[in-house]
Each structure stands twice: as structure tokens, then as C-alpha cells.
């Protein structure tokens, strides 16, 4: 699928603000993929579709989780966690993308997971650092991303956990597993 065709499909699913975010994620993911050795075309596709389900009704997303074999514990956490796994499911069902690497990058772009592939890390990080994002700590993560994908992902997940804790929000277990996994990967490098 060509980029323009994919963007037209996604644009119908998103607000104008979220579409601009998506374009930033696409640009950032291609750059990160080229820098760190992921397939840039797969990164582009996963980035385009990463927020495909973001604005689906919460009831529809809950129904998909309940009826389509997605982990039921997703329903115990905030609705922000739902759009990524539901999005992967819908991208496969409605758009016809079946590549498991692309679908997994979409699925885990919010929570991450232990032992992420380079493509999964690229989408996870690109979503966090794309140029339109402005929040405390993002510039430091962007700077680190120039040199070290794992360190930048670790910084992003630490910031996310800290933010959720300050907001007194529940943290999905995969997010902790992401933190632990990245920490272990970094320690094994040295």
C-alpha cells in the first residue's frame, strides 16, 4: 500500500490534531528505522496506522477486547491502553494488513513489552518524541534518541510511569515489563 493511500484511510479515522501527530510519527519512525536498522517501509506503515482506533467509541473497543481474544485484563486499565491492541486487530480486519511485525508494532506502541524488536522500539519511541509533542522531559529523550534507541526507550517508559503515578492512574503490567526488559538489555550491553 502506498503512503498516500494509507494516509487517506487513516485520516478518516482521526481528528486533524491527531492526524498531524501521525505525520510526525511517520517522519520520526522512518528516521529512527534508518538509523537503527529497522525496515523503513514497515516503520512507515506501522506509524501511519498506529492510532487507527484512537477515536473509536470506548464501548466498541471494549466489545472487541471481550469478543476477539485480546487480553481481558486490558479492560481493567484506562481506555488509553485499549486503542493500540484494538487498532492492531482493526488494521488487520479492516485494512487487510497482515504482517505480524507491523501489527505488533501497532499493538505495543503504547505499553511496550519485554524483548521488543527494533521495529517495535522505533514505533514506541517515535510516538513519544515526534516533533509536535511538547511536555517535560521529551527534549532529553529526543537528544538520547540520536545515539541510543534502548536508552531513549527506557527514558520514555520511565517518564510515562512517573507521569501515571503522579496522576494516580493504574499502570498496565506490560509497561513495567517494558521498563524491566529495557533495563536488562542495557545492562547486558556493558
Asked if residue 160 has pLDDT above 90, the reply is yes
How confident is residue 145, by pLDDT bands cut at 50, 70 and 90? very high
Enclosing domain of residue 132 = 3-189
Confirm if 32 and 43 have CB atoms less than 8 A apart: yes
- The CA radius of gyration of the chain, in Å to the nearest whole number, is 16
Q: What is the mean pLDDT of the chain?
A: 96
Cβ neighbours of residue 187 closer than 8 Å, sequence gap 6 or more: none
> Hey, how many other C-beta atoms are within 10 angstroms of the C-beta on 162?
12
Burial of residue 115 (CB within 10 Å: 0-12, 13-18, 19+) is: exposed
**CATH value at residue 174:** 1.10.3210.10
Asked if residue 73 has pLDDT above 90, the reply is yes
Instruction: Please tell me what DSSP assigns to residue 76.
Output: G
How confident is the model at residue 94, as a pLDDT?
97
Q: Per-residue pLDDT tens for 9-67?
A: 999 999 999 999 999 999 999 999 999 999 999 999 999 999 999 999 999 999 999 99
Count structural domains, the chain: 1
Amino acid at each position: 500500500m502506498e503512503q498516500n493511500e494509507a494516509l487517506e484511510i487513516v485520516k478518516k479515522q482521526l481528528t486533524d490534531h491527531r492526524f498531524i501527530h501521525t505525520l510526525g510519527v511517520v517522519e520520526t519512525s522512518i528516521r529512527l528505522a534508518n538509523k537503527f536498522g529497522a525496515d523503513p517501509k514497515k516503520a512507515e506503515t506501522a506509524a501511519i496506522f498506529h492510532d487507527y482506533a484512537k477515536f473509536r467509541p470506548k464501548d466498541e473497543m471494549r466489545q472487541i477486547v471481550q469478543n476477539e481474544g485480546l487480553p481481558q485484563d486490558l479492560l481493567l486499565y484506562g481506555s488509553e491502553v485499549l486503542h493500540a491492541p484494538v487498532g492492531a486487530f482493526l488494521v488487520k480486519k479492516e485494512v487487510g494488513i497482515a504482517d505480524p511485525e507491523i501489527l505488533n508494532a501497532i499493538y505495543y506502541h503504547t505499553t511496550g513489552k519485554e524483548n521488543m524488536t527494533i521495529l517495535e522500539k522505533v514505533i514506541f519511541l517515535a510516538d513519544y518524541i515526534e516533533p509536535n509533542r511538547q511536555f517535560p522531559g521529551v527534549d532529553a529523550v529526543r537528544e538520547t534518541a540520536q545515539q541510543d534507541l534502548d536508552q531513549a526507550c527506557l527514558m520514555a517508559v520511565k517518564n510515562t510511569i512517573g507521569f501515571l503515578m503522579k496522576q494516580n492512574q493504574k499502570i498496565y503490567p506490560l509497561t513495567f515489563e517494558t521498563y524491566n526488559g529495557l533495563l536488562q538489555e542495557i545492562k547486558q550491553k556493558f
